[in-house]
Amino acid sequence: MQLLKEKTEFNFMGKRKLAALFSAVLLLTSLTSLFMQGLNFGIDFTGGTMIEVAYQESAELDKVRSKLEQGGFGDAVVQNFGSVHEVLIRLPVIESQNMAELSNEVVALLQADHPTAIDVRRVEFVGPQVGEELTEQGGLAMLYALIGILIYVSLRFEYRFAIGSVVALVHDVLITLGFFSMFQLEFDLTVLAAILAIIGYSLNDTIVVFDRIRETFLRVRKGSSEEIVNQALNDTLSRTLMTSITTLLVVISLFVFGGEVIHAFSIALLLGIIVGTYSSIYIASNTVLTMGVSKADLMPPEKEQGQEISEDGSQV
């Protein structure tokens, strides 16, 4: 299926210096925010108490949040869990209270003026040490993913392509993290999962672009490296737009209809898809072109033909 019916001839690489400057500004802004403000880690990373309660009727989350805020628990995260009758309440670490006292206080606050009984299903405590381990393991997961990608692309293509793909992925991750840091959106395990998904999505798009660049280099005999990369990008433009638009429709649906529990997840994916599509064209391809890739670099190595000796001793 073709989104663009006619062959396009956009001069993508003609704007590569402007795109590089734009990305540099975004990266500098993201890094500044990360160093100055850091990330607003959720309970998954900082530790806290999780309380699961069940109502006999459908739970009204706005009223639950309002009651908790009036009782001094304004930092509580409230969401449906499993069904409209079950509610999961997550509270940050409160050193002055133990888990049993805290859960009893929260349930008593919710039960006040409520006509039916509220059933407490479970109460769990996530310690700060566990949160620190999750933070460390999450960072290592992203690092290992980038190292694995570097090795794979080096074997699949050429080392310049591997560096270009990793540069694009680091670009996507840093801008997404910077966005969450700048607006102090909650960063929890679902957002970490979204970032790992962004890495996979961006890599897939980059690999398709790189494969067409290599194919175009080997097929086209005349033209500069910039012209050949432009031709390859135009050849994959319809596929790139189709993939991005269909994925964005799904993510936008998640954001609009998915509820508060996955808002941060869908925001991360939404931003990652947009930035990932942009980076496949203007960061990954730009990096490869800047490193001086040429047709000679992509030609398969010539096989060495040994001399055969005939039965009478002559060479053939």
CATH for the stretch 13-39+130-296: 1.20.1640.10
pLDDT above 70 for 128: no
What would the pLDDT profile of 65-80 be if each residue is shown by its tens digit?
Answer: 888 888 888 778 888 7
> Which whole number is the average pLDDT over 256-285?
89
52 pLDDT exceeds 70?
yes
**What residue spans define the domains of the chain?**
13-39+130-296, 48-126
Higher-pLDDT residue of 14, 47: 14
Identify the residue whose tokens are 């069904």. 83
Mean pLDDT confidence for 14-34 = 94
pLDDT at 223: 77
- The beta-carbon contacts of 98-106 under 8 Å, at least 24 apart in sequence, are 99/49, 99/123, 99/125, 102/49, 103/49, 103/51, 105/71, 106/51, 106/68, 106/71, 106/73
Q: Where are the alpha helices (DSSP H) in the chain?
A: 16-36, 43-46, 61-70, 99-111, 128-156, 159-182, 189-219, 225-257, 263-279, 285-290, 295-298
pTM of the prediction?
0.78
User: In 10 A of CB 72, how many CB atoms?
Assistant: 11
Mean pLDDT of the chain: 82
Strand partners, 124: 50
Angle at alpha carbon of residue 162, lines to 158 and 165, rounded to 5°: 135
Which has more confidence, 118 or 35?
35
* 308 against 160, higher pLDDT: 160
Is residue 2's pLDDT more than 60?
Answer: no
- Nearest to 288, CA basis, from 154, 147, 146, 149: 154
Q: How confident is the model at residue 307 (pLDDT cuts 50, 70, 90)?
A: very low
Residue 311 pLDDT > 60, yes or no? no
Q: Give the span between the Cα atoms of 213 and 295, in whole angstroms.
A: 10
**Distance between CA atoms of 210 and 231, rounded to whole angstroms?**
12
Supply the CATH classification number for the domain 48-126. 3.30.70.3400
Q: Give residue 112's pLDDT band: very low, low, confident or very high (50, 70, 90).
A: confident
pLDDT digits (tens, 9 = 90+) for 143-185: 887 788 778 777 777 788 888 888 998 999 999 999 999 998 8
- Mean pLDDT (whole number) for 241-266: 87
pLDDT band at 218 (very low <50, low <70, confident <90, very high): confident
Do 176 and 202 touch, CB atoms closer than 8 A? no
Residue 96: the pLDDT is: 61
